[in-house]
Chain A
């Protein structure tokens, strides 16, 4: 029976080695382990093992005593052993006499015999020892008779030894032992001498002794290993049931029954095996562990949370606020970690809120959970640039709505960013709840996400419209929050939420108010009701909100935005003077370039709106000035945040492009670029054409609008001029007509079906704008006509003019008067005949040309003189007098010419000369 058999069963060894796993140092600390093993309950659970332990312990001490020849000790121990053996009689009967017991008996007998024969040694022994020796010898002889067969078989196996001899020896030894009592030699020296003597006397015996010694050492080792083995079994027994322990014990016994020689190999093998097993087991354990640990880890990770969801709390756990809060923090800890399933987390939080709701844990916790739900909804998208899915966002919207519901219902909830986590009060309902979290931030974020969604939706799809419908809800939430914060929030918060409200209001045209201002009533009753329920005009709201911000805000940015929005709103509703005054008062034009890009975009939008407003009001010049900056750059689209211009990659990398994309204004807030350009071009036309006509021959004429000129040039470059198609072509064609003073054609180009549908119908008061435009065209055409053709006329009747341009006589009169006052037109009014008398002081084109030529000549002469100076300066006497004279003559000639020119000037009449003399 080898250990192989015993270890053959996997389960046992696995368990034992798995037990080893837990205490891998067992081999090193055998002794301690043994002590540990002697715990009372262990004795209870394995009496057999205990008995044997007892026996082996005693045997050990006996052997020790044998080594030092302490016979009295030997005797003592032997008697103990005897008693112990008797105690374990039942087991021994069952199991048979243990091998180690037999071996001890045999060894002891041999040993005693040996001692007995050693006369000298006996002499040296002290009295006690000798006495003990003899009694022990007798006892063991008597005792051994019971185990004769076993001992015989034992002795046969390891060494041949004659029983009789031994017995005799023992007998003699015991007889002699008394004599040697007095000798004070230490046992050790005896021991040393003894083998020598024995070698002489009986080589066989010495052999035997050696073998015995060998055996002893071996058995020692064995014992160690046994201990180790048993120990392992022990500790295995701790975790395993008793059966397994018994089996493993049997293994130990079996092992011990083996011969000394054989024991080595199996042991080694066993060890090797064990190693393998350990590895195996380790693997298995790992696998198990992975399963288990995975489970554990994933608790952290959140996946098993889903699995656990139905039993978020163990069954029967009393759900109270503390538990819920604990759970909440547990969930929140996973937030932001890698591998966290954010969707699951959101669901979990929802479940938690459901639980807390069910159990009536109070609003405090609910608010807290809601806050966290919304936060984790925002977390769902890790990338800030990406936009939330509309569904997610809608969920978020609902959550915020619910949160607001709670907040409105419960007045005793305080929320705020500055409430520390530990000072939160979620549970105790007598005191007001204190919850950390800022609803304003959440709403702001929600609003931003809305903008992002709108930015990322195709503006021409139904989806966009659907998404846009949610804008009402957003406004609703903002309104509610506004109410809430008005009662509870700090001024700063109120300012912020006001700005949000403003941002959602400023770009919308208030049709209701507009209609009301026109004095129209709603056509049907229901509409009237709606109107009434609509509440105050957006203008009043804007006014109230903005003024609050002007007064209370401490951050510059909010105020700037509010002002701009306010101006925009004014401009949108054609309150030109208010808008302009606000713009001028704010001095934003001076320092807007220091603002951040979104504010600058807002500023640009406002300026454009202001310009368009001015145009509607007929302030052409103001309109042109306001729009000039935006339009002249040719990047109106970009400046208004309504799209990116195509540019090569060098100017803008992907990163920048992303940033710029984020700045875009959602489509529903866009300003129509064609309208913008048309307004700009038309106002430029109304300014530029008369100006061009007035300064036709002025060499230093500056153009008012470069862009307009560009368009004109493009028009001129066309090889074949068809009827105008695009808005620009219309304007160019109109400009050409206006140049000739043909206002009717101009009018028909500017205002027609195409232009109406493209541009003019986009204005709220289309009719007014068109009327204004017609009038402007008439007036400017008249001016152009007068500039262009005044040289042809000696006098014109104003009546004819008013007929030509379909203007009232007073208007014509005023226009001409103004021109005369401004010295644009050299003419006078003849009151009685109602005619304009031309003075004809404008230089003809030839005269103009001559003037220009004179100017150029002046420059040429100057240049020439410079060359001459240089030559003279360097080469003093290089030129002869003649040349110099020639030059001087030339100068004289020049002077003459100048004189001639002056004479010519004198020839002209007063007004013009006065005007021009300054330049000469």
Chain B
């Protein structure tokens, strides 16, 4: 297994030698600021997830080899919990498999992989999974479900989202997410009705919590990286300064618009539901009033009151649309917006810089 052998290679390289990740292309200092920041109200003391460059490189490699366009690659993260940090020391990908080979058993494959890794004395504890993303579109039902099952089984598991497009633009984009305890509860109860969500008081902002990442490397890897930096061409280096923005923005807008359409559709559905509900409430009210009046009349005439009927049977509330999808869409929209904002602010900076440069030249 090619992947395995390289893993071993990298592993041997990164063997316990810890050095701080130095500036590489885009300053990770900003990220380092996040380190040590306590999230209030979270029970699990996950201060940070310690990432290793070997893991990052492997994920990138995996995407470069298998992922294309909007296709998504996934894999398993391995590591261990150290004090209040989650250290991710290794990973392996899920193989891409088509519908044809039904024999393939993912779980067995994972177990097999982990066993093999243990044999070569690598951390083999399952601590989460990773996924690539296309223009930041990852907030979906599938992710929610699988992350929920992970988190349910292994409390400290995280999901790493790798955005290859942004990375290609010159800034490594890797984010770790966990479901908030609130969402966990809701998922446990499987109550996605409007009332349930209202009671849980959850909004799209409170669905995922981002866990800060610190990337640490062995010295050997740092050496390798520096060497690679030396070798890279000028064009590669200045990818960061690329001024063209419309393409990326257009794509993002397109995706945003799609989500918007979904959103308005959902709202429309919810709207009709609300209207139906209120109409029925009115009817119910009317019915009850009539019944009361009648009973009052009967009482005055000395007759026994009408028997109580099961009102909930007579007025079956309309099927409420599941609100979780709407929530997810909202989360996704938020995500897109963040992305776009980030992108535009960076670009704006670049544009000003370019303008200044031009002014300086002339």
Residues in A lying within 8 Å of B, measured CB to CB = 844-846, 849-850, 852-853, 856-857, 859-860, 863-864, 866-867, 870-871, 873-874
> Does B246 count as interface, using CB distance less than 8 angstroms?
yes
Closest B residue to A862 by CB, please name it.
B264
Given the known A-B contacts A849-B250, A853-B256, are A870 and B261 also in contact in the complex, defined by CB atoms under 8 Å?
no
With a CB–CB cut-off of 8 A, which chain A residues contact B274? 867, 870-871
- Is residue B68 within 8 Å, beta carbon to beta carbon, of the partner chain? no
Pair A846/B246 contact, Cβ less than 8 Å:
yes
Q: Return A356 CB to nearest CB of chain B, in Å.
A: 89
Q: A856-B261, A870-B275 are in contact. Are A849 and B254 (CB under 8 A)?
A: yes
A672 to B263, CA, bound (A): 51
B172-198 at interface with A (beta carbon < 8 Å)? none
Residues in A whose Cβ lies below 8 Å from that of B270: 867
Cα of A866 to Cα of B264 in the assembled complex, Å: 12
B13 contacts the other chain (CB 8 A): no
A853 vs B263: C-alpha distance when bound (angstroms): 13
12 A–B pairs (Cβ distance < 8 Å), ordered by A: A844-B246, A845-B250, A846-B246, A849-B250, A849-B253, A850-B253, A852-B257, A853-B260, A866-B271, A867-B274, A870-B271, A874-B281
Quick check: is B349 within 8 A (CB to CB) of the other chain?
Answer: no
List 12 extra interface pairs beyond A846-B249, A863-B268, A867-B271, CB under 8 A: A846-B253, A849-B254, A850-B253, A856-B257, A859-B264, A860-B260, A860-B263, A860-B264, A863-B271, A867-B274, A870-B274, A873-B278
Q: Is B17 an interface residue (CB 8 A)?
A: no
The chain B residue sitting closest to A856, CB to CB, is: B260
Kindly identify which residue among A849, A853, A864 contacts B267, using a CB–CB cutoff of 8 Å.
Answer: A864
Contacts of A857 in B (CB 8 A): 260
- Whether B246 and A845, one on each chain, are in contact in the complex, defined by CB atoms closer than 8 angstroms, is yes
CA of A850 to CA of B254, assembled, Å: 9
CA distance A852 to B253 in the complex (A): 10
Which chain B residues border A860 with CB–CB below 8 Å? 260, 263-264, 267
Cα-based distance from A853 to B257 in the complex (angstroms): 6
Bound CA–CA A291/B260 (angstroms): 98
Chain A residue at smallest Cβ distance from B261: A856
**8 Å CB contact of B278 from A850, A853, A864, A870:** A870
**Residues in chain A near residue B253, CB distance under 8 A:** 846, 849-850, 853
Cα separation A332 to B95 with both chains bound (whole Å): 95
Closest CB of chain A to B168's CB: distance in Å? 20
Contacts of B256 in A (CB 8 A): 853
In the complex, per-residue mask of B218-256: 1 if CB is within 8 Å of any chain A CB, else 0: 000000000000000000000000000010011001101
Which of B250, B254, B281 has the most chain A CB atoms closer than 10 A to its own CB? B250
Does B264 contact A849, Cβ atoms closer than 8 Å? no
CB distance from B263 to the nearest CB of A (A): 6
**Within the assembled complex, what's the spacing in Å between the Cα atoms of A857 and B69?**
27
Query: A874 to B278, alpha carbons, bound, how many Å?
Result: 7
Bound together, the chains give a CA A859 to CA B271 distance in angstroms of 13
By a CB distance below 8 angstroms, the chain B residues around A856 are: 257, 260-261, 264
Of chain B, the residue at the smallest CB distance from A867 is B271
Compute how far the CA of A454 lies from the CA of B260 in the bound complex, rounded to whole angstroms.
62
The distance in angstroms between the C-alpha atoms of A244 and B360, with both chains bound, is 157
Cβ–Cβ < 8 Å partners of B278 in chain A: 870, 873-874
B281 touches A849 (CB 8 A): no
Shortest distance between the CB of B351 and any CB in chain A (Å): 14
B277 to A, closest residue via Cβ: A874
Known: A849-B257, A853-B256, A853-B260. A867 touches B250 (CB 8 A): no
Enumerate chain A residues within 8 angstroms of B271, measured Cβ to Cβ.
863, 866-867, 870
Residues of B with C-beta under 8 A to A853: 253, 256-257, 260
Q: Inside 8 A of A845's CB, which chain B residues have their CB?
A: 246, 250
Write the chain A residue with the least CB distance to B256. Answer: A853
In the complex, residue of chain B having the shortest beta-carbon distance to the beta carbon of A857: B260
On chain A, the residues within 8 Å of B249 by CB distance are 846
Minimum Cβ distance to chain A for residue B262 (Å): 10
- Which chain A residue has the least Cβ–Cβ distance from B279? A874
Interchain CA distance A863-B261 in the complex, whole Å: 12
Bound complex: CA A846 to CA B263 (Å): 22
* A864–B264 alpha-carbon span in the complex (Å): 8
A400 smallest CB distance to B (angstroms): 73
Q: Which residue of B lies closest to A844 (CB)?
A: B246
Report chain A residues within 8 Å CB of B257.
849, 852-853, 856
A860 to B281, CA, bound (A): 26
- Return chain A residues, CB-CB under 8 Å to B263: 860
Give the chain B neighbours of A870 by CB distance below 8 A.
271, 274-275, 278
Residues of B270-287 at the interface with A, using a CB-CB cut-off of 8 Å, are 270-271, 274-275, 278, 281
Task: Annotate B272-312 by CB proximity to A: 1 below 8 A, 0 otherwise.
Answer: 00110010010000000000000000000000000000000
A850 vs B250: C-alpha distance when bound (angstroms): 9
Cβ-closest 9 pairs across A and B: A863-B267, A849-B253, A874-B278, A860-B264, A846-B246, A856-B260, A870-B274, A867-B271, A846-B250
Give the chain A neighbours of B267 by CB distance below 8 A: 860, 863-864, 867
A801 to B161, CA, bound (A): 51
CB distance from A868 to the nearest CB of B (A): 10
Query: B residues within 8 A CB of A863?
Result: 264, 267-268, 271
Per the bound structure, the CA–CA distance linking A874 and B281 in Å amounts to 9
Chain A nearest CB from B232 CB (Å) reads 30
- Give the Cβ gap from A205 to chain B, nearest Cβ, in Å: 123
Q: How far is the CB of B103 from chain A (nearest CB, A)?
A: 30
**Assembly CA distance A859 to B266 (angstroms):** 12
Distance between Cα atoms of A859 and B268 in the complex (Å):
10
Across the two chains, which residue of chain A brings its CB closest to B257?
Answer: A853
Residues in B whose Cβ lies below 8 Å from that of A850: 253
**Across the interface, which residues of A come within 8 angstroms of B250, CB to CB?**
845-846, 849
How many Å lie between the Cα of A102 and that of B253 in the bound state? 147
Taking CB as reference atom, which chain B residue is nearest A849? B253
Measured in the bound complex, the distance between the Cα atoms of B276 and A867 in whole Å is 12
CB distance from A558 to the nearest CB of B (A): 58
CA distance in complex: A873, B264 (Å): 21
- Determine the distance from Cα of A852 to Cα of B250 in the docked complex, in whole angstroms: 12
The minimal Cβ–Cβ distance linking B227 to chain A, given in whole angstroms, is 40
How long is the Cα–Cα vector from A845 to B278 in the complex, in angstroms? Answer: 43
Chain A residues within an 8 Å CB radius of B254: 849
Closest Cβ of chain B to A887, distance in Å, is 14
Residue of B nearest to A873 (CB): B278
CB distance from B250 to the nearest CB of A (A): 5
Q: B55-93: which residues lie under 8 A (CB-CB) from chain A?
A: none
A859 proximity list for chain B (CB < 8 A): 264
Contact with A along B94-108 (1 / 0, CB 8 A): 000000000000000
CA distance A864 to B267 in the complex (A): 7
A866 to B270, CA, bound (A): 10
- CB neighbours (8 Å) of A852 from chain B are 257
Chain A residue at minimum C-beta to C-beta distance from B268: A863
Report the Cα distance A860→B268, complex, angstroms: 9
The CA of A845 and the CA of B249, in the complex, are separated in Å by 10
In the complex, what residues of B have CB within 8 A of residue A849's CB? 250, 253-254, 257
Tell me the complex Cα distance, A844–B244, Å: 14
CB nearest neighbor in B for A863: B267
Bound CA span A550–B94, Å: 84
B304 to A: closest C-beta gap in Å: 35
Q: Which residues of B contact A874 (CB under 8 A)?
A: 278, 281
User: In the bound complex, what is the Cα–Cα distance between A874 and B250 (angstroms)?
Assistant: 41
Query: How many angstroms between the C-alpha atoms of A856 and B258 in the bound complex?
Result: 10
